[in-house]
């Protein structure tokens, strides 16, 4: 399988990976959440090449994650703003940040701190059950696959078995 | 900049991206969280080539995200288990899943549901402030960069300005 085929899978994670799961995409999203709106500024702070950035900004626009708006005429210049769908990516960025804040070494202190406006205190990632509000992590949950996902995985297993048999023959 | 240089940045997100931010890495992590422990099974359900998978499993082991253990002698066979550091990646996977569950089209229903063992109900991503326990999203927080991060970004801006001046000259 190629990564471009992930989008065809019956899998929510594959679908997200297809949309934003490459290293540059994540760095671009980070800059958008830091408030950058202009192509040049995003390029400056990611260090990505203009060509690679251009391809990705078009993909983000097509996916409805950013909206392009003219902020100047003659010559026309555009800026990018996160849409509602884009703003919903925030938990992914915060989870990435929190993991490396927790497990990385930061002798000069954590590079970015997040303050909750309403209570005024520094905050870090806390995930709770949407039903009972108790904190949850991987060990506190079970996972249930849909019939469509079970069928797809059974088919992948059959294909893998066939490939193995063919390799032995 | 190349993606291999991201690890040098004063940025928690760049550090996470370096560790697990490529499409296959995320698909591999997903399989580990679904309970796969064997190389062949991870290969089957991701569709990744054995070579690409092998490179990534070594990287995950080196990063302390998985631990390799022998489960059979003669011939020796290994399985991979998530370490504590690996299990802490769960919020990233859940956030990826939740975003595409919310914004994708799933005519056959959501592929994977998560049930909270303690309360017995289906649960979805809910992030609250670690200090006051109120739900938070991107609009509810401000971001504060460390001095080291501010300095690094100023230096990136100077370099970008120099490149532009050189291109005009």
B49: CATH:
1.10.10.10
- Residue A39: exposure state from Cβ atoms within 10 A (0-12, 13-18, ≥19): middle
Whether the pLDDT of residue B107 is over 80: the answer is yes
B 78-137 residues inside an 8 A Cβ radius of A: 85, 87-104, 106, 108-119, 121-134, 136-137
B21 touches chain A (CB under 8 A): yes
The pTM for the full model equals: 0.94
Query: In chain B, how many domains are there?
Result: 1
Minimum-distance CB partner of A26 among B21, B102, B126 = B21
Is B62 inside a domain boundary?
yes
Interface probe with A: pick from B91, B104, B108, most Cβ of A within 10 Å: B91
The residue range of the domain holding B56 is 3-105
Is B55 inside a domain boundary?
yes
Closest approach of A76 to chain B, Cα-based (Å): 20
SS3 state of residue A116? strand
ipTM over 0.90: yes
Is B89 inside a domain boundary?
yes
Task: Determine contact, residues B164/A43, Cβ cutoff 8 Å.
Answer: no
Secondary element (H or E) of residue A79: strand A77-82
Is A116 inside a domain boundary?
yes
Secondary element (H or E) of residue A43: helix A39-46
A46 touches chain B (CB under 8 A): yes
Interface probe with A: pick from B7, B52, B63, B95, most Cβ of A within 10 Å: B95
A62 touches chain B (CB under 8 A): no
pLDDT in tens, chain A (169 residues): 788 888 888 899 999 999 988 999 999 999 999 999 999 999 999 999 999 999 999 999 999 999 999 988 988 889 999 999 999 999 999 999 999 999 999 988 899 999 999 999 999 999 999 999 999 999 999 999 999 999 999 999 999 999 889 988 8
Is B119 inside a domain boundary?
no
Is B120 inside a domain boundary?
no
């Amino acid at each position: 399988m190629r990564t471009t085929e992930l989008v065809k899978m019956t899998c929510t994670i594959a679908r997200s990976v297809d949309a934003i799961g490459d290293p540059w995409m994540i760095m671009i999203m980070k800059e958008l959440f830091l408030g950058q709106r202009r192509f040049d500024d995003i390029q400056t702070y990611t260090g990505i090449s203009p060509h690679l950035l251009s391809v990705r900004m078009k993909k983000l626009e097509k996916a409805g994650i950013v909206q392009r708006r003219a902020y100047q005429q003659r010559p026309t210049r555009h800026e990018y703003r996160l849409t509602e769908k884009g703003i919903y990516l925030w938990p992914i960025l915060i989870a990435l940040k929190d993991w490396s804040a927790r497990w990385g070494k930061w002798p000069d202190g954590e590079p970015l701190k997040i303050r909750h406006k309403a209570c005024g205190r520094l905050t870090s990632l806390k995930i709770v059950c949407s039903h009972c509000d108790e904190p949850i992590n991987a060990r506190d949950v079970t996972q249930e696959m849909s019939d469509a996902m079970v069928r797809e995985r059974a088919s992948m297993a059959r294909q893998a078995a066939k490939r193995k048999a063919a390799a032995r023959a």
